[in-house]
Amino acid sequence: MDQRITIHSVQDAKPKSGVLAALGKKIWRFRAFYLMLLPGVIYYLLFKYIPMYGVIIAFKNFNMSDGIWSSPWASPWNKHFLTFFHSPYFSQLLANTFLISVYKLVFGMIPPIVMALLLNECRVKWFKSLIQTLTYMPHFLSWVIIYGILLALLSQSSGLVNHWIKEYGGQTIPFLTSTTYFRSLLVGSEIWQNLGWGAIIYLAAIAGIDPTLYEAARADGAGRLRMIWNITLPGIRGVIIMLLILNLGHILDAGFEQIYIMYNVQVYSVADILDTWVFRTGLQQLNFSLASAVGLFKAAIGFILVLGSNNIAKRWGEGIW
């Protein structure tokens, strides 16, 4: 009986050691790729996963002198969430955040795709490089610089656009302080900044399409528009869906840096979002527990949206996992 158990245990151990040996050989074979992957893994471990223990602040009355673990637990446990949900500004903040994010998502996805298609069809190399460089440069500009450009162009008192309006006998328009125009400025400036970056991603996806498909289409007499519709767009569909799913995870972000730099008291009703409210009422007043509760709420919504959108995308065979 004991001899049988020993034999079976040895037989069971052999496959495991074989699997480990095969895994070790595979890792050693692709060691260069794993070394390139290592900095990214370390970054996410140090700055994304390890700090996640701090989420318990949302359930405590955090005091900096006591630290995270010694701070007393909130009573009730959802005290800070209730404070946020019962705030008189909750519905307005949620609506502003959601609307601005959806506007950026809907109107911001098409221009990079169109730009990538136009650049891909351009046969004059120097002109293609010039346009690609000009559209990519704003990606490196901070929102402070972009707001300075908008101020020079759209200021009611000294802006170039309002100067032209006055020259033609019109009335100046308060673009930067008007609730009518402010969201459009947010979305437009976001599209302008990220147009070139998004186009590069789609151009890389287009470069991966099998060129023989285009040759076969030309042999069948297909024109450029027909090839774009039947070959190029289906070829980059996976990248489009992947970026859409990833962006849905940030649907409640809405761009804190951009809005915080550009907004003012006159446009709070259409521009004040969750992050700016948390910054004012949570961080400036050192209420870190409230800020953590709102952050956890946003993360939960984003997680649900990513899972839901990925499951929907799987029906077309384009899920991320």
10-residue averages of pLDDT along the chain (321 residues):
46 61 85 90 90 86 84 85 87 90 90 91 87 89 92 88 88 88 91 90 89 87 86 88 83 86 88 87 82 86 84 73 68
Predicted pLDDT of residue 8: 47
Give the length of the chain. Answer: 321
Predicted pLDDT of residue 1: 47
% of the chain with per-residue pLDDT over 70: 93
Model-level pTM?
Answer: 0.80
Predicted pLDDT of residue 147: 92
Given a contact cutoff of 8 angstroms between Cβ atoms, the answer to whether 196 and 132 are in contact is: yes
Nearest Cα to Cα of residue 216 among 226, 206, 208: 226
Predicted pLDDT of residue 149: 92
The domain covering 88-285 belongs, at the CATH homologous superfamily level, to MetI-like (1.10.3720.10)
Given a contact cutoff of 8 angstroms between Cβ atoms, the answer to whether 276 and 100 are in contact is: no
Which tokens hold the place of 186? 């947010």
Domain boundaries, the chain: 1-44, 88-285
Given a contact cutoff of 8 angstroms between Cβ atoms, the answer to whether 303 and 248 are in contact is: no
Nearest Cα to Cα of residue 274 among 259, 287, 264: 259
